[in-house]
Structure 1
C-alpha cells in the first residue's frame, strides 16, 4: 500500500509542477497583454451609434459619388460618340441633298433640252412641209394661169354646146385646184382698185387716169398668191397716175375706248 501511494504521489508531483508552470505562463502572458489592450482602447475610443451611422452615410455617399462620376464619364463619352455620329450623319445628309439637287438640276436641263428639241424638230418638220408645199404650189401656178387664159379666150369666142361643156369642165378642174390651194392656206392676190403696195404687187406699166387716186392698181395681168402671210408670187399690175393723192387712212381707235 505504501509503495502504491508513493508512486501515485510521484506521478502527481510532475503533473502539479506542469500545471503550476502553465499557470505562471498564463499569468505572465495575461500581464503582458493587458497593458496593450488598454493602450489600443485609449488610442481608438469606441464610436457611438450616431457616429457609426454618420460614418456609414459618408461611406455610402462617397461610394455613390464615385459611381456617379463613373456613370457621368461613361455618359459623356457616349454623348461625344453620338455627337460625332450625328455630325457625320448631317454631313452625309448635306452631301446627299447636294447630289439630289444636282440630279434634279440635270433632270430639269435634260427635260428643257428635250422640250426644245421636240419643238425645234416639230418646227423644222412644219417648215420642211411648208417648203415642199410651196414648191409644189409654185410649180402649179403656171398651170392655173394657162387654164384661166384658155377659159377666158374660149368664152370670148362663139362656142357650140360640146365646146361649152369642155370649157365648163376645164373651169371645174381649175376650181378644184384652187380649192386645194385654199386648203393649204393659199390665197389669191387680186388687187384691182386697191392702193399699190410694192410688197405684194409688181408694177409692169402705168396708166394715166385722173378719175382714180394716184398709184391705184388699174389692171391685173397676173394674179398673185400668198400663203400664211408669205407672198409666194406678187401680182403683176398696172398703176394709175395723174389723179388726186389718196387721203391718209384714219387711225384705228383702240379697243375698249368710249365713244
Structure 2
C-alpha cells in the first residue's frame, strides 16, 4: 500500500514537472512572439520613414532644380517691364511670364515651398548669404538692404539661402522684448495704452 502511494506521488510529481515545463515553454513562446511583433512593427515604421525621407529628398531635388527657372522668369519679367514702354505686345508677354511664375509658386506652395525675400529684416546667417555690405546710418546694423537672389525654404528647411547685402554704420538693433507671461495680457495692454492711462472721469 505504501509502495503504491509512493508510486502515485512520483507520478504526480512527474506530471507537475511536465506542467511547469509546458508553462515555461508557453511563456517563452509568448515572449518570442511579442519580440517578433515588436521587431516587425519597428521594421514597418523604419521602412515607412525611409520611403517618406526618400520621397522628400526627391521632391526637394526637383524643387531645387526648378529654382533657376524661377530666377530666369523674374529677370526676364523685370527686364521686359523696364523696356516695354508703350509696346502692348511686350506688356502682354510680361503679364504672361508673371502669370506662369505665380502659378509655379502656387503649385510649389502646396508642397510647403516658401519664398525668402528678406529686405528690411535682420540678417540671419542661417537663412541669408551676405554678398556685400552697404553703409546706412539710418538703418540698424546687420539689416538686409537688397536681395540679389531670393531664397527658398521647403517644409521649414532652407533649401537655398537668399543672397543679400547687409547694412553697417547705423545704430545697434535693440534686443527683442520678452513678454512677461506672469502678467495678464489685458492688464499689460492697459498699462501701455495711452487711452486707458490715468483715472477714468
- For this structure pair, what is the TM-score category when the shorter chain's length is used for normalisation? 0.7 to 0.9
Deviation at 1:78, TM superposition (A): 4.3
Partner Cα distance (1:204, 1:181) in 2: 27
Partner Cα distance (1:159, 1:120) in 2: 61
What residue in structure 2 maps to residue 195 of structure 1? 122
Partner Cα distance (2:72, 2:143) in 1: 26
Count of residue pairs the alignment pairs up: 183
For the aligned residues, what is the CA RMSD?
1.5
Instruction: Report whether the alignment pairs 1:246 with 2:177.
Output: no
Instruction: Report whether the alignment pairs 1:177 with 2:177.
Output: no
Bigger shift: residues 200-209 or 149-158: 149-158
What residue in structure 1 maps to residue 69 of structure 2? 143
What residue in structure 1 maps to residue 39 of structure 2? 113
Q: How does 1:15-26 map to 2 (within 5 A)?
A: none
Q: Which has the higher contact order (CA 8 A, sep 6+)?
A: 2
Can you list the C-alpha shifts for 1:145-166, whole angstroms capped at 9, x where unaligned? 0001111111222142222222
> Where in structure 2 are there 5+ consecutive unaligned residues?
185-201
Runs of 4+ in structure 1 deviating by more than 4 angstroms, as ranges, are: none
Return the index of the structure with the highest Cα Rg: 1
Instruction: State the TM-score, normalizing by the size of structure 2.
Output: 0.85
What residue in structure 2 maps to residue 226 of structure 1? 153
Instruction: Report whether the alignment pairs 1:89 with 2:15.
Output: yes
Instruction: State the TM-score, normalizing by the size of structure 1.
Output: 0.67
Instruction: Report whether the alignment pairs 1:133 with 2:59.
Output: yes
Partner Cα distance (2:28, 2:86) in 1: 82
